[in-house]
Structure formats: structure tokens, C-alpha cells
């Protein structure tokens, strides 16, 4: 820790590796969001993650590995469709939920028989994983239920001295968490993809060339335990849809997808356009930072409420709308 009580932000991989080897917590950049990492095979280190985030133990963690081979060492089975997806999309924003080996601690899987695994596509995260003799458990590096961090500063604001070091890999390129996918058998005996969470890998890319049906995981039996409605919560009330006619422009935050949207709010002072270029990938990259910036205004007393426009429901839009809905649900 630095003399200010805030964790240092830097690019010292050897220092990060040394801390992790001693069971400490390091925030790491990934292409999706920043993760709060610890040695996945050390229950005491993993327990520190839960404490730092105030995360309930029923919510399992994603384990990050350097390669497909490293993932295989942690699972008892890799169905052919999962192997195909891993070969195609790793490193990348895809998490696969697979039957775990006993070496994976109960704390990581919340006691369940499956472990969530991914190979992150960030050079710094990969370099770190390649140096370490163990995989890294890493949830998003934010207090439980809050907005995920996409910069080192976001991590510092949210976790402060609860993290020992923050590796600076710049702003995250994707900006949304990974897409989480399991494999299950359908009634006819065919493999079927089970989608636990939409994220940085779009449906269209996921199923391209994969001749496999898919369905959403259903609550309560097979939903991702941490996929709660009130997640990603800003502290300022967030509503979906345009502000009412009598809203006070000076005290109302507005978040739209493109510049032409909600023209009545075009000159409002607290308006954020997520994607001036009209690309969903740009909106994904900007989403959490924009939400945080507006929320900071709300917390400083400058705003009463934020109105956000849903984005088109295709490609990354599914994941963006999912995050917006969850963020809004915490204020119903």
C-alpha cells in the first residue's frame, strides 16, 4: 500500500506475481472488465476476494487460465462442443462452465460441481498467468452489486486499500463482462448450450459454425447464482426510457445510444452519448464509465435521477440492455 492508504497502480508484473504467490489480491486488466485476482487453488487467498468485495459465498468465481491445456487440468470433462468453443474463442470474452476436478476449492465453485473458466485476451493478464504456477480466481473488481470497473481508477475508487496492487492495462477494450456458457444434454440427447449471462461475446458470433441449440439458464436450478436483478447498481436512481416532460434538465442525467436520440434532451447539461459512431461495441466500451460519471454527479448532489435509453437488442446490445435493466431494477 502507498502512504496515502490507496493501492499503488503500476505495470510491475513481477511484483504482482510475488503478491499473488503470497496469497494477496491484485486487480488485473482483462479485455472485458478489471478482475480482482487471487490464487484460485488457495482457499485462504480466495476467501480474501469475498471479504474485499463483501460478496456472499453462494456466488461462485470465474477461474482465469493461460491456455486451453491449463483449463483441461481443472475439469473432468470437456464436451466436444465446449472444446470447439474454447478453440474458437479463447483467449476472449467467453466463460465456459464445466465439471470441476477436486483440485478446485469449494469456495471457488460455491460448493457446486461446476467451475467457470476463461482465458482472458489481455496481453498483461496472459503474461501474468503464464508466469504463475496456479490459475487466478477473479470476479469483477468492484464491491458486490456495484458497477464493474473498466479502468484502474475505477478499481481504486471502489475497493481502496482492500486490494494490494492494481495492474494498469489501460481502459478495457470490450467493457462488458464475459458471456457465460454451459453445456447440457437436451431431452433428445443432443448437446445444448446453456447461457448463464450475455456478455462481450455476441450470440451471433458464439453460435456461428456451432451446430448446437441454445437456451437461457432458468432460475432457480441453473441460473448463475450471482446474476441478481439488482446488480450493477449506481447509487443514483436509474430509469429506462425517456424523461417525463416536466423533468428538470439541470438535475436530470441522460444516457443515450446515438447523438440523434431523444432530441428533446439534446442540449441538457448532463447528457452522455454512448456511441457517437453508432456502434454497439463503442457503447459497450463506454457504458460503465458513463454510468459511473453520471452516478458521481448524483452522489455529489448535482443530479436527482438518470434516464437511460435501451440500445438495439442484437449483438452486444443484448448484454448492454441486460446490464441497464439490472442497474435500473435496484431502484424499483
Binding positions for ligand TXA, rule: CB under 6 A: 30, 32-33, 35, 59-62, 95, 97, 109, 112, 114-116, 120, 138-140, 177-178, 180, 196, 224-227
By a kind-dependent CB cut-off of 5 to 8 A, residue 98 interacts, out of ligand TXA, Mg ion, none, with none
DSSP state of 197: E
269: its cell numbers: 447539461
Nearer to ligand TXA, 97 or 306 (CB): 97
Cα(327)–Cα(113) distance, integer angstroms: 30
Nearest to 193 by CA among 201, 208, 202, 183: 183
Q: How far is the CB of 38 from ligand TXA (least distance, A)?
A: 12
Nearer to ligand TXA, 88 or 251 (CB): 88
By a kind-dependent CB cut-off of 5 to 8 A, residue 164 interacts, out of Mg ion, ligand TXA, none, with none
Q: How far is the CB of 189 from ligand TXA (least distance, A)?
A: 23
Q: What are phi and psi of 226, to 5 degrees?
A: -90, 0
Ranked by CB distance to Mg ion, the top (closest) residue is 140
Q: How far is the CB of 35 from Mg ion (least distance, A)?
A: 9
Q: What are phi and psi of 252, to 5 degrees?
A: -125, 125
By a kind-dependent CB cut-off of 5 to 8 A, residue 62 interacts, out of ligand TXA, Mg ion, none, with ligand TXA
Nearer to ligand TXA, 135 or 139 (CB): 139
Strand 165-167 relative to strand 26-28, pairing: parallel
Nearest to 172 by CA among 320, 67, 64, 281: 281
Nearer to Mg ion, 140 or 236 (CB): 140
Nearer to Mg ion, 112 or 249 (CB): 112
**Residues whose CB is less than 8 angstroms from the CB of residue 303 and which lie 6 or more positions away in sequence, other chains included:** 236, 251, 252, 253, 270, 294, 297
Residue numbers at the binding site for Mg ion (CB under 5 A): 140
Q: How far is the CB of 174 from ligand TXA (least distance, A)?
A: 8
Q: How far is the CB of 28 from ligand TXA (least distance, A)?
A: 8
The SS3 of residue 241 is coil
Cα(63)–Cα(47) distance, integer angstroms: 14
Nearer to ligand TXA, 114 or 214 (CB): 114
C-alpha 13: how far from chain center: 22
Nearer to Mg ion, 32 or 140 (CB): 140
Edge to edge, the sheet with strand 252-256 lists 238-240, 305-308, 252-256, 271-273
310: its cell numbers: 435501451
Query: Is the Cβ–Cβ distance between 316 and 278 less than 8 Å?
Result: no
Q: How far is the CB of 305 from ligand TXA (least distance, A)?
A: 26
Cα(108)–Cα(116) distance, integer angstroms: 9
Question: What are the residues facing 26 on neighbouring strands?
Answer: 37, 165
By a kind-dependent CB cut-off of 5 to 8 A, residue 305 interacts, out of ligand TXA, Mg ion, none, with none
By a kind-dependent CB cut-off of 5 to 8 A, residue 97 interacts, out of Mg ion, ligand TXA, none, with ligand TXA
Q: How far is the CB of 68 from ligand TXA (least distance, A)?
A: 16
By a kind-dependent CB cut-off of 5 to 8 A, residue 126 interacts, out of Mg ion, ligand TXA, none, with none
Amino acid at each position: 500500500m502507498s502512504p496515502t492508504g490507496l493501492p499503488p497502480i503500476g505495470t510491475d508484473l513481477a511484483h504482482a506475481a510475488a503478491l499473488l504467490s503470497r496469497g494477496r489480491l491484485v486487480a488485473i486488466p482483462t479485455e472485458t472488465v478489471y478482475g480482482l485476482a487471487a490464487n484460485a487453488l488457495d482457499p485462504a487467498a480466495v476467501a480474501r476476494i469475498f471479504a474485499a468485495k463483501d460478496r456472499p459465498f453462494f456466488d461462485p468465481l470465474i477461474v482465469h487460465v493461460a491456455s486451453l491445456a491449463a483449463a483441461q487440468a481443472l475439469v473432468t470433462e470437456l464436451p466436444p462442443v465446449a472444446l470447439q468453443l474454447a478453440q474458437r474463442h479463447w483467449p476472449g470474452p467467453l466463460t465456459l462452465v464445466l465439471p470441476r476436478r477436486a483440485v478446485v476449492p469449494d469456495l471457488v465453485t460455491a460448493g457446486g460441481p461446476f467451475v467457470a473458466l476463461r482465458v482472458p485476451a489481455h496481453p498483461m493478464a496472459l503474461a501474468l498467468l503464464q508466469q504463475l504456477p496456479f490459475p487466478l480466481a477473479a470476479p469483477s473488481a468492484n464491491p458486490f452489486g456495484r458497477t464493474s470497473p473498466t479502468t484502474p481508477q475505477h478499481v481504486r475508487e471502489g475497493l481502496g486499500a482492500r486490494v494490494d496492487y492494481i495492474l494498469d492495462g489501460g481502459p478495457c477494450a470490450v467493457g462488458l463482462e464475459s458471456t457465460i456458457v454451459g453445456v447440457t444434454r437436451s431431452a433428445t440427447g443432443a448437446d445444448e448450450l446453456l447461457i448463464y449471462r450475455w456478455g462481450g461475446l455476441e450470440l451471433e458470433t458464439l453460435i456461428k459454425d456451432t451446430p448446437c441449440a441454445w437456451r437461457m439458464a432458468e432460475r432457480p436450478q441453473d441460473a448463475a447464482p450471482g446474476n441478481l436483478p439488482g446488480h450493477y447498481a449506481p447509487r443514483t436512481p436509474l430509469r429506462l426510457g425517456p424523461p417525463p416532460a416536466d423533468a428538470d434538465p439541470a438535475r436530470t442525467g441522460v444516457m443515450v445510444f446515438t447523438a440523434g436520440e431523444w432530441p428533446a434532451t439534446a442540449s441538457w447539461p448532463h447528457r452522455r452519448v454512448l456511441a457517437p459512431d453508432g456502434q454497439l461495441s463503442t457503447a459497450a466500451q463506454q457504458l460503465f464509465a458513463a454510468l459511473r460519471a453520471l452516478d458521481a454527479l448524483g452522489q455529489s448532489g448535482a443530479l436527482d435521477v438518470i434516464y437511460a435509453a435501451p440500445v438495439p437488442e442484437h449483438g452486444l446490445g443484448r448484454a448492454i440492455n441486460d446490464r441497464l435493466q439490472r442497474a435500473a431494477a435496484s431502484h424499483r
